[in-house]
Every structure is written in C-alpha cells, then in structure tokens.
Amino acid sequence: KGDTLNGWMLKPQTFDPSKKYPVLFCNYGGPGSQQVANRFGAVSTWHQLLAQKGFIVVSIDNTGTGYRGEEFKKKTYLQLGKLEIEDQIDAAKELGKLSFVDKDRIGHWGWSYGGFMSSLAITKGAGVFHAAVAVAPVTSWRFYDNIYTERYMRTPKENERGYDDNSPLNHADKVKGKYLLIHGTADDNVHFQNSTQMVSALVKANVAFDSFYYPNKNHGIGGTADNTTFR
C-alpha cells in the first residue's frame, strides 16, 4: 500500500537458521498506539518467555498506529480493523517466505484492541494465521463506549458499513485453525458481551473453538489469574 511498517523480531537464544520455527505475532494495533520502539522495555518479559519456549515473536505497528504522523494515523478513520488486519496478514505472508519460518504455524496473540486484531486474524486472515488467542477482545464496535468509538467511527447510523464489515462477528464462519477466547466476566472496559456474542456467532457457524472465562475479573484480569492466562 506504499507504506513501510515498523516491526521487530525476537528469535530464540538457540536460533538455528537451518530449522523452521513457529511464529507468534504479538500485536495491539489501535489508533495512535506504538509497540515498536527503539527503547528499553519495548520487548517484554512475556515476549522473552515465548522466545525461550521456541517461538519467533514478531510485532508489527500497522496502519493507524502512532508516531508516524497525522495522515498515517487517520487512514483508519471510519473503518477500524480493515487496514490494520490487512497489514498484519501481508506481514505474515512475507514472513512465511523466510527459510526459517514454518508458514503453517503462524499465530496471533492480542489483548483488548489486540484481541480484536487476533479475532480478525483467525477470521479475515484464515489460512495465513493458523491460531489466535484473543484476550478481552472487542468483537463489535457497537458494544464499545461511544466516547472512544465515535471519535474514529462516528455513529452506527452514520457508518453502518464501517461497523459491520470489520466486525469479527460477521466473519465467524471463516475461522480455520485454533481460536482461544479469554475474558473476565466483570470487564468494565471491553464488556463481556463482546465475547458472548462471538461465542454465539461461532456456535451458529458450527465452528470449534476454546474459551476461558474469569469470574468477577476486570479488563486486566490480574492477580494469580495471570498465571493461568499466560500459561
């Protein structure tokens, strides 16, 4: 699409270029956000642990992310999810061409907006992404708070197509591979309704999936529950 995207790749300490490795995208991707930065701490201990377990960990700042100028950020206006997931899919396809990448074992992990991206990865990106873990995902912007949503999407009445075309709910029948849905039932940010509606869409489409719910946990889940989430 003419834009060069920023990204990083974390390889296992025992990396052997003659072998093929599974790849896990760790992505947030929301408007104005940034995960790829030349600073200490940009790669978390979670990413380090994944690399120790034999994964190549990748993060790509897609269209709409921050520190790339106003024009780059505003490209996602009225269509949250569309260009962002297209970028992630294109990046996964390019990585799949590398000799040390197992293109049949590329997955996507994300939380909140990142969970929205993971849900799009396993639906709109089915066949490229073979597994996805979505923690506290937005599955329809109709369910998110209007102060945030309407800033980027206007109202559903004004922008029905923008809301519906990129909702994972409307692509549930496309899922291929492993899909894990995780949510806290007391989430006051991304309401639990997002996950229950996704479950309904998956069941209606006769799609197999896994789910894990934390009673009375909020958006961050937190506490000892994190031990289970990250395991």
Is residue 130 flagged as an active site residue? no
Q: Of 47, 87, 112, 130, which residue is the catalytic one?
A: 112
**Could you tell me if 25 and 109 are in contact, meaning their C-beta atoms sit under 8 angstroms apart?**
yes
DSSP run (H or E) holding 102: strand 101-111
For tokens 């780059």, name the residue: 72
For tokens 């591979």, name the residue: 177
Is residue 112 flagged as an active site residue? yes
Is residue 187 flagged as an active site residue? yes
Cβ contacts of 144 within 8 Å, gap of 6 or more = 138, 190, 191, 194
Q: Of 61, 119, 187, 191, which residue is the catalytic one?
A: 187
| Burial class (CB within 10 angstroms; exposed 0-12, middle 13-18, buried 19+) of 223 | exposed
Helices (H), 61-111: 70-74, 82-95
**For residue 180, which of 162, 154, 198 has the smallest C-alpha distance?**
198
SS3 content of the chain, % helix, strand, coil (to 5): 35, 20, 45
Separation of alpha carbons 117 and 178, rounded Å: 15
Q: Which residues are catalytic?
A: 112, 187, 219
